[in-house]
Chains A and B, each alone.
Chain A
Amino acid sequence: MTETQTAPAESAAEKQNIVRTRGVRKVYKMGKLELEALKGVDMEIQRGEYISIMGPSGSGKSTLFNMIGALDKPTEGKVYIDEVDVAQLDAYELAWLRCRKIGYIFQTFNLIPVMTALENVTLPMIFAGMSTDESIDKGVELLKTVGLGTRVQHKPLELSGGQQQRVAVARALANDPAIVLADEPTGNLDRKTGREIIELLRQLNEEKQVTIISATHDLKMLDVSDRILWVQDGRIAKNQRREELDLDLGQIGAGEE
């Protein structure tokens, strides 16, 4: 394995990599059928970046998202978060990582339906061992940050889609993660609400230096991303900085709309 020798030199030379994958493959077995969702993905994401993973549905971007977030195991290859090989972590370390280092936002919000907005936001803090009083103070503060200061005691079903996603954003920030992973965060929202969520994420990225990694096929995301990874057919087809993108943005927009 030549990677293991070159990897440290590589990471030292560049800006700090917060996420790095090497030869990640994922094969889903469906009965006798084997579906190769990822066919060897190599990529780096640096601390503080706002990354969009773009691609049509079925391209493997959600699978890649799950790999980066340590929510699923690759069939082959390695995922490093903060230069730690995720596969080497035991159950306690993995839970710690998911609890404190990564915040997750999902297309379907995934709030716990029977809990109030505040209870949803404080749950990760309770898992992190924070006292109840402290977590309530912080939870209210976070809900204010996302603009839901007056809806603290509402249950998810009493909130609109955009509001639910805001609760999810607040929950993702509960333990001050270094990375926020968002899987199609605007997928179930209308244009305007979607834009608000994107703005919110951008704001968090700038103010708190949180690394945002977002899987999406929402072109509105392009404006705010530092870099776009285009996934196609289980591979990274293109890796573009925003500056490069500006040049041919009109062309893409024309093609998609």
Chain B
Amino acid sequence: MSVYAASATGKQISLPFSKALEISFRSLKIRFWRSLITIGGIFFGIAFLMSILTSSALNQALLEGGSAQVRALLEQKGADEEAQTQQIWLVTLSLLVCVVGITNAMLMSVTERYREIGTMKCLGALDKFIVELFLLESAFQGLVGSLGGVILGCLFMTASMMSSYGSEPLSVFPMVDIFQYGLYSLGAGLVLSVIGAIYPAYRAAKMDPADAMRTEV
């Protein structure tokens, strides 16, 4: 009996990373509109965060290097001190919106596929392959969404400032600061999307297939 048993069961091979990449891209492509909505959630969250950060950086730059006229305008709008605390409050708020929005978008997009995950396990997918698949999908969605959000947020706020203060925001444009903020926002979007997706994907991958397929969301 033991001889037969030993020859009866093999070990499932781990598929190469390129295969996971291929499948996850195809999965995003065939689910184009659904993934676009998920990406949209990330996009607007990050756009909000980035616009707040840009406005904060531009205000700072104008106060330091702007013409007397613009400085007077800025001071007229509100004292520096007060504006500063307001900015911090706004940044915190937009970060919270990001965290909740993105995590929610990713949670939804994974949990609605529990059944699919269970089925894939029946067909012989390894747990880690499933997690890998969802990690790649979410990272890609996070990257595209955040990149778009950073660009939109920055452009929108710069344009809005220019409508108030003419071309001056451009002449004092704090390139380094804005670039740094852009990177922060991009990082935040990416990390949040991956975390939001990995947790439910990992849970589903660990389940017995029967349980995963039974789960109704």
Contacts and interface: CB of A to CB of B under 8 A. Distances in A.
Interface of A: 8, 11-12, 66, 69, 71-73, 82-84, 89-93, 95-101, 104, 106, 110-115, 123-124, 126-129, 171, 174-175
A77 to B, nearest CB: 16
B81 to A, nearest CB: 54
Contacts of B125: 95, 127
Interface residues of B, number: 33
Interface in B153-207: none
Given A115-B30, A124-B123, A72 B208 contact: yes
Interface of B: 1, 4-5, 8-13, 15, 19, 23, 27, 30-31, 115-116, 118-127, 129, 208-211, 213
A95 B208 contact: no
Given A11-B1, A99-B123, A72 B12 contact: no
Contact of A127 (B5, B123, B210, B211): B123
B15 A95 contact: no
Nearest to B121: A98
B8 A82 contact: yes
Contact of A128 (B27, B124, B211): B124
B49 to A, nearest CB: 31
Contacts of B1: 8, 11-12, 83
Please give me the 4 A-B residue pairs with the lowest Cβ-Cβ distance, nearest first.
A99-B124, A95-B12, A72-B210, A96-B12
B27 A114 contact: yes
A72 B124 contact: no
B12 A93 contact: yes
A71 B27 contact: no
Given A66-B210, A71-B122, A95-B125, A126 B19 contact: yes
A128 B124 CA distance: 8
A115 B113 CA distance: 13
Contacts of A84: 5, 8-9
A12 B123 CA distance: 31
Contacts of B120: 112, 123
